Amino acid sequence: MAANERASHSGAARGAPFGQSSAQAMVQAVLERPRPSTFPRAAILGRKLTPAEVAILETFVVPRYLEKFGEAVLNLMSIGSTARVVHLGCRTGYPDRELFEMIDECSVVGVDASIAAIELARNKAATLRDLELDYQVATGYPTVLDASSFSHAMCLHPIGTERDRRDLFHEMQRLLYSGGQALVSLPLRGSFQEIADLIREYALKHDDDELGRAADRGVLGRPTMESLSEELEDAGFDDIDVDVRQITLTFPNGRAFTEDPITRLLVLPELSAHMGIEDLSEPLQYVNDAIGRYWSRRELELGVVVGTASARKT
């Protein structure tokens, strides 16, 4: 894949229906396999974090990782003289303050499921008294926010399955007024491929067929450029534009990967949601050891395909 790709998707211009080829049929069959009934459905508004996790997210994860997704969203945002923005799954409030540097008259409402994250976002906003920033706790959709009251709706790195993304996109559709812009940035299919390959290797060595199938779900459950466009169109959006770019995360060894805040707070929850397996401790120990074997003389380079979509409410 090239470093940057763009695709526009509007109404009848969509390509061949998803699932037509034999390869696509195989993908669909994998995704439709039943998941363990005990696995909790992912919260697209963000899982609840402890105060310590929130501090780590703000200090280490935002500048090293989430900024890549935020920059991509800001690059696609249509800018006018005024804007009223809703940030779904806002976590600690990045990149809300950056919006005020781009837009003359702006107000932002952020919602998230984590009380600790919202408290930090509010504390940061309190130091900027001249900015209209409001943060609220919300655990599900629809939120209590008024329908058709925002010019922009955005979300960075939502964690969840296709079902969760569809809930997110329908809430964006509800909150935007006509002509409003939805913006979402998330890892596409092809992200974290190295880790999925090692989990498959573990499953093969331990004759764990279910884990092998779950690893396939983890890979195939992420959207492609085309399927992300289709999900937005199915939610009622039009004038859809998707930007795709490749980034690389580097880790000196397996322990650095498994203990990194990016891994613990975003990569593993995202992988677990798509795999349908909550406890990955044993496979991850194998991943840790395998990274030491295969990358003993060089850093692990973990590829992430960042997909960012812009869409309009008609």
pTM for this entry: 0.86
What is the pLDDT at residue 290?
93
What is the pLDDT at residue 36?
37
What is the pLDDT at residue 124?
95
User: What six digits make up the tokens of 237?
Assistant: 């959006």
What is the pLDDT at residue 296?
86
What is the pLDDT at residue 20?
40
What is the pLDDT at residue 130?
82
Q: Cα dihedral sign for 259, 260, 264, 269? A: negative
Alpha-carbon torsion, ordered 232, 233, 239, 243, to 10 deg: 40
Count Cβ neighbours within 10 Å for each residue of 111-141 and write b for 16 or more, e otherwise: bbbbebbbebbbebbeeeeeeebebeebeeb
Q: What is the DSSP string of the chain?
A: --SEEEEEE-GGG--SPTT-SHHHHHHHHHHTSPPPTTSPPP-TT-----HHHHHHIIIIIIIIIIHHHHHHHHHH----SEEEEEEET-TT-TTHHHHHHH-SEEEEEEEES-HHHHHHHHHHHHT-TTSEEEEEE--SSS-SSPTT-EEEEEEES--S-HHHHHHHHHHHHHHEEEEEEEEEEEE-TTTTHHHHHHHHHHHHHTT-HHHHHHHHHHHHTS--HHHHHHHHHHTTEEEEEEEEEEEEEEESSHHHHHH-HHIIIIIHHHHHHHHT-S--HHHHHHHHHHHHHHTTTS-EEEEEEEEEEEEEE-
Residue type, 140: G
CA distance 222 to 225: 10
Tell me the CATH number of domain 4-10+20-313, given options 3.40.50.150, 3.30.360.10, 3.90.1530.10, 3.10.20.30.
Answer: 3.40.50.150
Cα 268 from chain centroid (whole Å): 12
Average pLDDT by stretches of 10, the chain with 314 residues = 53 38 42 37 72 96 97 96 97 96 95 96 91 93 96 96 94 98 97 94 95 92 96 98 97 91 93 88 92 90 97 96
Q: Identify the residue whose tokens are 């890892």.
A: 187
Cα 230 from chain centroid (whole Å): 17
User: What six digits make up the tokens of 151?
Assistant: 């010019």
In sequence order, what are the beta bridge partners of 110?
A: 87, 135
CA distance 100 to 98: 5
What is the pLDDT at residue 14?
39
